[in-house]
Amino acid sequence: MPLSQEFHLSNLPSFGLSIRNVIKVETTNSSGYLFDAFSLSRQSRPQSYILADTLLRLREKRQEYKDVVILHDDVHEQFFFVHAPLLLERCHQEFGIKPLDNEEAKTPNLQRYTNFILLDDQPRVLHEIPQDVRSLFEVLCPVLHAAISGPSPIEFIVIPSPHELSIQDIVPFAAIILEYPVAYVPLSAEQDSFLPWEVLDVYECVLLMDGSGGTKMEHVMCKFSCPECLSHHGALQVSQLRTRLKDLFSARLMQVDVQGQVEVRHHQETHERVAL
């Protein structure tokens, strides 16, 4: 990875950020990364300030980081590193959402990538993106477009929303950002038990690279699950999901000339409840 050759973590504040995941977004391998590990010592500054400052300093080292923006869910205190052009393109192509009403854009193909699954007693596939989630992206996309289009790109955005974010919104929202082909949709904001004792197909998309001394390096690009009871559904068949993931991420790696191989692993798990 190019950044590791020219920019050392010692130049950044001391915290648990996986720099490879930020690079993964920057090189358009993925449209987003959820920052979920934060460990600071003797730091009094807010997390948001430290992350924004870190991205600003990364931009000083590599021009490509101007397309990376941090989205902050200030209700659940989550941070997403987002490759803005890729996410905007995906929202337009999959959901027909343009960043600006008057912007000329190629005709969307509206080809379904994300499968929305309602977490009812019997999980079921929804045929459309939930309206509240769609509204959230309709508000976000123009803001995201403006953040990277000006002379001084903005590095940090609090997720704008026409209403207070609940788990009904943020769970499928995060799945779209992270480019999971499966997006869980809770029944209500009060639901607190998910998929109890449900057999789950678990997928792990892994980048395999040659390391030093003949060793192999692995990097998990995405990991998600899908109820096994829905595996008969065309787009959710194990073979189809594995092929789609491998084709998608292999093509992205070729575009940025990253040497490596994509492997999609599958196994099954059952839990008393699933954390979203």
**For residue 173, what pLDDT band results from cuts at 50, 70 and 90?**
very high
**For residue 220, what pLDDT band results from cuts at 50, 70 and 90?**
confident
pLDDT digits (tens, 9 = 90+) for 241-254: 999 999 998 988 88
**For residue 175, what pLDDT band results from cuts at 50, 70 and 90?**
very high
Reported pTM: 0.83
CA 69 to chain centre: 12
Alpha-carbon separation of residue 187 from 123, 165, 181, 194, 195 (angstroms)? 10, 14, 19, 10, 12
Sorted by where each begins, the domain ranges of the chain are: 2-269
pLDDT digits (tens, 9 = 90+) for 92-127: 999 999 877 555 556 666 678 999 999 999 999 999
pLDDT digits (tens, 9 = 90+) for 127-163: 999 999 999 999 999 999 999 988 887 889 899 987 8
Q: What percent of the chain is predicted at pLDDT more than 90?
A: 45
pLDDT beyond 60 at 22:
no
